[in-house]
A = this chain, B = another copy of it.
Amino acid sequence: MAVTDHEARADALFHALADRTRRDILRRVMVGEHSVSGLAANYDMSFASVQKHVAVLERAGLLSKRRNGREQLAHGEVEAVRSIASMLAELEELWRGRIARIDALLTHDPEQHQE
């Protein structure tokens, strides 16, 4: 189902962002390319842990990797960030609709109730 796909993608995106180490990694790779070990050097945890965080971000589509010799260079995917922003914009739009409905109510126009 198409809805499920969209929701599964949202699950992955928000889950990926729900960890501060991953958000920090994402900030770094948005600025420019970094190898996995280069990223790992910034954190007080094992290389394997950082590599798993990178994998989570990659599965969510928030970063991509490119091979360069024995290194894997990661860079941020701004389109994925924008797709999240548009989900939030959709939420805000629902809220805006509520306000419009309250306004309609306050103008005492009974026709507005139909739709």
Binding site for B on A (CB under 8 A): 7, 10-11, 14-15, 17-20, 23, 26-27, 30-32, 76, 78, 81-82, 84-85, 88-89, 91-92, 94-95, 97-98, 101
CA distance A31 to B23 in the complex (A): 30
CA distance A60 to B30 in the complex (A): 26
Chain copies in complex: 2
A-B contact pairs, 21 of them (CB 8 A): A7-B23, A10-B17, A10-B20, A11-B18, A14-B14, A14-B18, A30-B92, A30-B95, A30-B98, A31-B97, A32-B98, A32-B101, A76-B95, A78-B92, A78-B95, A81-B88, A82-B88, A82-B92, A85-B85, A85-B89, A85-B92
